Amino acid sequence: MAAGIAIGSEQGAAGEYNGRMTSFVVLSCMMAAMGGVIFGYDIGISGGVTSMEPFLKKFFPEVYTKMREDTKISNYCKFDSQLLTTFTSSLYVAGLIASFFASSVTKAFGRKPSILFGGAAFLAGAALGGAAFDVYMLIFGRILLGVGVGFANQSVPLYLSEMAPPRYRGAINNGFQFSVGIGALAANLINYGTQKIKGGWGWRISLAMAAVPALILTLGALFLPETANSLIQRKDNNQKAKSMLQRIRGTQDVQLELDDLIKASEISKTIKHPFKKIMEKKYRPQLVMAIAIPFLQQVTGINVIAFYAPVVFRTMGIGESASLMSAVVTGVVGTGSTFISMLIVDKLGRRVLLMVGGIQMLVSQVMIGGVLASQLGDHGGVSKGYAVLVLILICVYVAGFGWSWGPLGWLIPSEIFPLEIRSAGQSINVAVNFFFTFVVAQTFLAMLCHFKSGIFFFFGGWVVVMTVFVYLFLPETKNVPIEQMDRVWREHWFWKKVVGEEQKVSELGNKNQD
């Protein structure tokens, strides 16, 4: 989810930085990417266990009773329980709060300690979840998982961005979302297996297995090198930073990049109140995007699939095992499409992917809503043929999200902030994302009960809004160096009216000073 960007620039004043993608960088980034896997695992596991009957019977008996015994209740309302949604969404409240602390820790102590703490907190949460004997212990475990996710999501993408050579930064950033997909897919496969355990305790394995990627991340973080950016920012240790750059870039000639990092660090230290700074008119486009993009990403309706796919399939009358396998299928599609996005994002550009993905999501959501409206009433189920059709349409929808709003919802905000407001912009971006993830998670089951099949038309309406928003207000950021990103706003038909005069006045002032 949450992502960051390197303090530095895409390209120096005299040309591109030297260096290549080294095996040292690849191994470091693969280890750090476990932070994405733990988040994805949690997204997948929580939706799966909340559709398992032994789990519901133990912790949420009212939901179990409604599902099994209440023949009068609507299909769409079987899972409507505030306690059940609190189980899912408590993680995002904890993550929201933790991300603010994580930002300070990452800046003051480095990326490595923040990754280490995130892994350790997630490890503790996984142990509590697997051993839970009542709902309070279960939710406390979720809160610890949220702390882990808050720290990992703040520090891992920042680490990946700083380690990666600039020309691969888009693909590496999308690689974090790909790791989230791998985690969710692994969770869906484990849920499918543990649901078949006869004793009814398979959910314990599902929750406890989160400890595996968390343990890899925690132990691996002990051996991760610190980034050159962090060494300069925290210790002004330029020589050590130069040695690190030479190692990760695979060349001795890193002076151009080092000079930019030192300059960037010096500028960032002069800004005492970045949150106050970002409110200035000349940063209005970045502030709008920092709020709008994560908000719109969450109202695509992806969380209908990510958190509650098995629940949605069970709502349609599909059995427990089949609903979990359906979630596995959508997980494979989502992971595959995100991988495709990694390969094409720097060739086709951001706007094309967002608009094509938006149209794809809209068409599939309208068709899903139409099928459910005509075939799934308040009672009974849908035929096997229609269930397969809905699964195919959901796969089309997930693919659309997987190569558009999924990875690009994090990549674009990480590209657009000038250095002096980057920390504030990223914090706002992360906070808005966590907040609306929480809101959607907390309200979805109640909305499903009241809107019924109309829930898909509701999210489809938001997809129309976001596609029009991208077409009108988001300039293309492909191949634009970060330190020159302000020009895309000055050349945009709308934003130039907001920032144009402000930028000209600023530039004239700078020339007069020279």
E strands in 171-304: none
Query: What is the spatial distance between Cα 63 and Cα 75, in angstroms, rounded to a whole number?
Result: 12
Residue 75 neighbours by CB distance under 10 Å:
22
User: What pLDDT does 367 receive?
Assistant: 93
User: Taking a C-beta distance cutoff of 8 angstroms, is the pair 300, 459 a contact?
Assistant: yes
Sorting pLDDT into bands at 50, 70 and 90, what band is 12? very low
Closest-CA residue to 233 (of 263, 254, 255): 263
The continuous run of DSSP H or E covering 97 comes out as: helix 82-109
Sorting pLDDT into bands at 50, 70 and 90, what band is 44? confident
User: What pLDDT does 441 receive?
Assistant: 76
Amino acid 453 reads S
**Is the per-residue pLDDT at 176 higher than 70?**
yes
Mean of the per-residue pLDDT values of the chain: 82
If DSSP codes are grouped into helix, strand and coil, which group holds residue 236? coil
pLDDT digit string, tens, across residues 439-453: 887 787 788 778 888
Please give the share of the chain, as a percent, with pLDDT higher than 70.
Answer: 86
Query: What is the spatial distance between Cα 291 and Cα 303, in angstroms, rounded to a whole number?
Result: 18
Q: Phi first, then psi: what are they for 209, rounded to 5°?
A: -65, -15
Three-state secondary structure string covering 280-330: CHHHHHHHHHHHHHHHHHHCCCHHHHHCCHHHHHHHCCCCHHHHHHHHHHH
User: Taking a C-beta distance cutoff of 8 angstroms, is the pair 421, 283 a contact?
Assistant: yes
Please give the share of the chain, as a percent, with pLDDT higher than 90.
Answer: 24
Residue 4 DSSP label: -
Sorting pLDDT into bands at 50, 70 and 90, what band is 309? low
pLDDT digit string, tens, across residues 311-369: 666 666 666 677 777 778 888 898 999 999 988 888 888 999 999 999 999 999 999 88
User: Taking a C-beta distance cutoff of 8 angstroms, is the pair 414, 426 a contact?
Assistant: yes
User: Taking a C-beta distance cutoff of 8 angstroms, is the pair 406, 179 a contact?
Assistant: no
Helix, strand, coil % (nearest 5) of the chain?
80, 0, 20
Mean pLDDT across the stretch 216-225? 89
Specify burial of residue 169 (Cβ count, 10 A radius: 0-12, 13-18, 19+): buried
User: What pLDDT does 292 receive?
Assistant: 95
Sorting pLDDT into bands at 50, 70 and 90, what band is 7? very low
pLDDT digit string, tens, across residues 82-114: 777 778 778 888 988 888 788 778 877 888 899
Mean pLDDT across the stretch 247-256? 85
pLDDT digit string, tens, across residues 497-508: 998 755 555 554
